[in-house]
A = this chain, B = another copy of it.
Amino acid sequence: MQSTMQQDQLSLATLLKYAATFQGDSTVSTWTGDGVRTMTYRELGAEAGRLANALRGLGVEEGDRVGTFMWNNNEHMVAYIAVPAMGSVLHALNIRLFPEQLVFVANHAEDKVVLVDGTLVPLFAQYLPKLTTVKHVIVVNGDASALTAPDGVTVHDYRTLIDGQSPDFDFPVIDERSAAAMCYTSGTTGDPKGVVYSHRSNWLHAMQVNSPNGMGFDGSDSVLAIVPLFHANAWGLPYAALMSGANVIMPDRFLQPQPLLELMASEKPTFAAAVPTIWGGVLAALAAAPQDISHLKTAVVGGAAVPPSMMRAFEEKHGVRILHAWGMTETSPLGSVAHAPAGVEGEEAWAYRYTQGRFPANVEARLVDDEGKVVPNDGESLGELQVRGGWITGSYYSPSGAEIDPDKFDDGWLRTGDVGKISPNGYLTLVDRSKDVIKSGGEWISSVDLENAVMGHPAVAEAAVIGVPDEKWDERPLVAIVLAEGAAAEAAELRDFLADKFAKWQLPERWTFIAEVPKTSVGKFDKKRLRAQYAEGELDVTTLG
C-alpha cells in the first residue's frame, strides 16, 4: 500500500533556504585574533548565492568537485553549504595531510576548483603544480597574486570574483542520494580512501547531531567548531547548526590553547567540539592561568578515546560537561554518544560516560568475532564493531568502479576495525583497534585500557602501548611514556600503579620513556611509526623482571 505523503527529497538546497529565512538572525563568526567578524544566516544565504553564481560562471556543474583548503571561518561555512546546495560536491581538503597524500586525494577526487585561505597560499603553492584536474584557484582573504598559476589554471581573488554576483541562485532540489560532499580517511596504511556523503545522509545526520541523544545543541547555543571542517565531515556541525539555528564560532587559524581561551573569554561559547589533544592543551593552559570557562556547558570530544581523568578535570574543576562520542569518517561521523542512562547518577553515571556510549536508532550496531559470528551484547563478549545505516558508507569512492578495500565491508555492514563490547542496555565500550589489540598467549589485552590507566598517574603526560613480539607469549605490551613537564617516574613505579587495575598476566614488563608520541596528521597516536621505531631499535626499553 502506498502512503499519501509527499515525495520529498532531503536536500541541502532546502536546508540553505530554510536557514537563510526561518533562522536568518542566527550567525556565524570568525575569530580574528582580537575579535570576530560576523555574518547572519540571512547574509550567509546571499553570500552562498553569490558563490554559486561565481562557481557556475567558472564552469562548475552538478556533480563537479569543489575543494577547500581552509581554516574554519565564515567563508568556509558558506562553501560548505553553497557547493552541495548547487548540486556540486564539496571536498574539504585536510591541510595537514602529508604532501603526497594531499596531491593524491585532490587528483583522485578530480577537484575542479579549490578555495584557498590567504594564509595557506604558501603551503598550497607547493601542491598546485601537481594537481592535474584543478582549473581555478580562489584565494580567500589573501593576496591572489602571490600564487603562481601553472598553465591551464586561473587564480582568482574571492571578493573580486563574488562581489559582483547576484545573491539569487536557483538552488536545485536534486535526488537525495546524490553526492553532496566527500572526505578522505587519513589512514596510516595505503592511500587515503574517499567517502562520499549524500544530501540525505547529511540531512539525517544533522537531525541526529541536534537530537538530545546526539550532541543536543539547539538554537540557543553558540557552537565553537574547533574540529576542522575537513575532519570527518566536520562532525556534521555546519549542517546541524543551520538546521537548528545555533550560532557558530569559528577559530580560523587560532588553534593553540592560549588564543582559544582568549576567544572563549570574548565569545563565551556554550558548546564546543574538538579532539582530545586540543582539550588536553586547554586543560594544561587553564592550570597555568585560571579562567572561568563555565559558559561552556558541553564539549563534545571524539576522534580518539578520552581519558577519564580529563573528563573529570573539566567537569569538576571547570564546570564543563565532556560528552564522549565515537565515530569515523566512514560514519559521517556520529556513531555512539555517551550520555548516562536516565536516573543513573554519581560514579555509575561516570562509568557510562567513560564508554563510547549508545547508538541512535539510525545506526545499527553489532559485534562480530574472528569467525564471523555475531557475539551477544552481554557486556563481556568482545568482537569487532560493525555498523549499518543511512549515514554509514557502503563502499569507498572509486572513479574506476573497481572496489577499494572490499574486506572493510561484511554483507552490507561496515567493519569499523574497532574491538569492543556492548552492554545489555546498549552501551559500547571499545577496548582497542583490531590491529592494536595485543594477542598474548591466546588472550587479548587492550592497549587502550593500559594507556588510559597509566595516563591517570600524575607524572604521565601521554602514554602509547603497542604489542611487540615475544618468544613465549607471541606478543606482549610495550608502554611508551611521555612524562609530564618537570615530572619523574620509574617504570617499576608505573607498573605498581597499574597493579590493582589489571590481571597480573596483563601487566606490562616492557617500558620506554620518549619525548613525544608520534601522531598522524589528525593527531591520533601513530602506532605504526612507534612499532617501526621499536623494530629499528630506536627505543630505549626497560624490561622489568
Contacts and interface: CB of A to CB of B under 8 A. Distances in A.
Nearest to A412: B6
A18 interface: yes
Given A212-B212, A342-B219, A394 B5 contact: yes
Interface stretch (A142-150, A153-161, A358-366): A358-366
A196 B329 CA distance: 37
B22 A426 contact: yes
A162 interface: no
Interface string A169-184: 0000000011110000
A515 B391 CA distance: 57
Given A14-B361, A220-B343, A7 B394 contact: yes
Contacts of A400: none
Classify chain A: how many residues form its interface, as a range. Answer: 35 or more
A385 to B, nearest CB: 14
In the assembly, how many copies of this chain are there? 2
A358 B22 contact: yes
A10 B359 CA distance: 16
A54 interface: no
B220 A342 contact: yes
Interface string A225-250: 00000000000000000111101000
Nearest to A200: B5
Q: Say whether chain A's binding surface is mostly helix, strand, loop, or mixed.
A: loop
A4 interface: yes
B212 A3 contact: no
A213 B377 CA distance: 33
A180 to B, nearest CB: 7
B3 A342 contact: no
A339 to B, nearest CB: 7
A21 B377 contact: yes
A2 B377 contact: no
Nearest to A422: B22
A40 B10 CA distance: 34
A6 B201 CA distance: 9
Nearest to A62: B1
Contact of A425 (B2, B24, B63): B24
B210 A10 contact: no
A341 B211 contact: no
A440 interface: no
A511 interface: no
Contact of A394 (B6, B89, B207): B6
A424 interface: yes
A3 B178 contact: yes
Contacts of A388: 6, 8
A174 to B, nearest CB: 10
A478 B169 CA distance: 49
A460 B17 CA distance: 44
Interface string A350-380: 0000000011111011000000000001000
Interface in A2-51: 2-8, 10, 14-15, 17-19, 21-26
B213 A219 contact: yes
A414 B8 CA distance: 13
B5 A201 contact: yes
Contacts of A210: 211-213
A360 to B, nearest CB: 8
A259 interface: no
Contact of A2 (B8, B196, B207, B220): B196
12 contacts: A1-B179, A3-B178, A3-B180, A5-B198, A5-B201, A7-B394, A8-B390, A15-B361, A18-B359, A21-B377, A22-B425, A221-B342
3 smallest CB-CB distances across A and B, nearest first, come from A22-B426, A3-B198, A212-B218
Interface of A: 1-8, 10, 14-15, 17-19, 21-26, 63, 65, 89, 177-180, 194-198, 200-201, 204, 207-208, 210-213, 216-221, 242-245, 247, 339, 341-343, 358-362, 364-365, 377, 388-397, 412, 414, 424-426
Given A5-B391, A15-B361, 16 more contacts: A5-B390, A6-B394, A6-B414, A8-B389, A8-B390, A10-B362, A17-B364, A19-B361, A22-B425, A22-B426, A207-B208, A210-B211, A210-B213, A211-B218, A212-B212, A213-B218
